[in-house]
Amino acid sequence: MYAVVKTGGKQYKVSKGDKITVEKLEGEKGSAVILDQVLMVANGDTILTGQPRVANSAVHVEILEQFKDDTVIVFKKKRRQNYRRKNGHRQPLTTIEIKEIRTTA
């Protein structure tokens, strides 16, 4: 059984026991979170697709870690104009483990 969930503006194909890194979710380490934006659920030959979400379905996850990603350097330059700008960015991320995929259909 697997599901396609949407979180942080991205879509992830997940199944029970998977560990994935997503954009930051609110919560402490070890807390449970419910992802309710389920776009598709597949169980063997049965496939449920939503328009846009599958009704009465959710993915239960546990937060394993909250951390910041490596620094991404943003450098802008216009040649011969003495224009240079250097910025950095560290994206906050969350590592989660999929505990259960629930659907009532």
By DSSP bridging, strand 38-43 and strand 46-49 are antiparallel
Q: What's the rounded Cα separation, in Å, for the pair 40 and 59?
A: 11
Give the pLDDT confidence score for residue 105 in this predicted structure: 59
Q: What's the rounded Cα separation, in Å, for the pair 5 and 9?
A: 10
Task: Kindly report the pTM of this predicted structure.
Answer: 0.85
pLDDT, tens digit, 9 for 90 and up, residues 15-38: 999 999 999 999 999 999 999 999
Domain positions in the chain: 2-66+93-103
CA 35 distance to own-chain centroid: 9
In this prediction, residue 104 has a pLDDT band, given cuts at 50, 70 and 90, of: confident
Contact 4, 13 (CB under 8 A): yes
Phi first, then psi: what are they for 9, rounded to 5°?
80, 5
pLDDT, tens digit, 9 for 90 and up, residues 77-101: 999 999 999 999 999 999 999 999 9
